[in-house]
Amino acid sequence: MNLHQNYLESTLKQLYYYKGLGEKTFAQLSETDIHSQQSEYSNNIAIIVKHLHGNMLSRWTNFLEEDGEKTWRNRDGEFVNTIRDKQDLLQKWEEGWACFLGAVESLRPQDLERIIYIRNQGHTALEAINRQLAHYAYHIGQIVFIGTQLKGKGWVSLSIPRNESKDFNQKKFAEEKKRGHFTDDFK
């Protein structure tokens, strides 16, 4: 397998992993939780999802042919909470991810070196993917953090739960060495 193909496969696994972290967080939250806001200066989960949705549609619609900052995007409006309920949140989440994942899944290894533009700044497609992977992981980390704060003791860990690292490591080191991806065990 060549390096570019390996990159695409690894990146897609990571993208599905981060999408899954968001979804596992949403599953633990109520309608009220997604709108809970610490202060008027902070974003709640609904606002973060609305921003991700707008960013994904803008960046990944016709991304090999058009600038990633579309004229129809209203970035400032993404930070005004208009998401009505959890169903609306999940619809926007799925629509944004479908656009993003569809664009990445359609790439051929040789496309990774193509130049694309975001606000007239040229990036290789590979650089654009890395930029967005970091951006989306940042916001999904915020979503998870807000979820942990809202649920407190009721939060179900999305990783190795506290005080279970020793048991987890013993299990892993009891297995044969093998090639794998860190997302392989994520369900």
pLDDT digits (tens, 9 = 90+) for 38-80: 998 999 999 999 999 999 999 999 999 999 999 999 999 999 9
pTM for the predicted model, two decimal places? 0.94
CA proximity to 64, closest of 128, 21, 1 = 128
Greatest Cα pair distance, the chain, in angstroms, is: 54
Mean pLDDT of 179-183: 85
Mean pLDDT of 146-175: 92
Q: If you classify domain 3-159 with CATH, what class do you get?
A: mainly alpha
Q: Examine the pLDDT at 1 and tell me if it is beyond 70.
A: no
So what's the pLDDT on residue 166?
Answer: 92
| Confidence band for 105, pLDDT divided at 50, 70 and 90 | very high
What type of residue is 1? Answer: M
So what's the pLDDT on residue 161?
Answer: 87
Domain range summary for the chain, segments of one domain joined by +: 3-159
Q: For residue 127, give the H/E element and its range.
A: helix 125-151
Residues 107 and 117: their CA atoms lie apart, in Å, by: 16
Q: Examine the pLDDT at 131 and tell me if it is beyond 90.
A: yes
CA 167 from centroid of its chain's CA atoms: 29
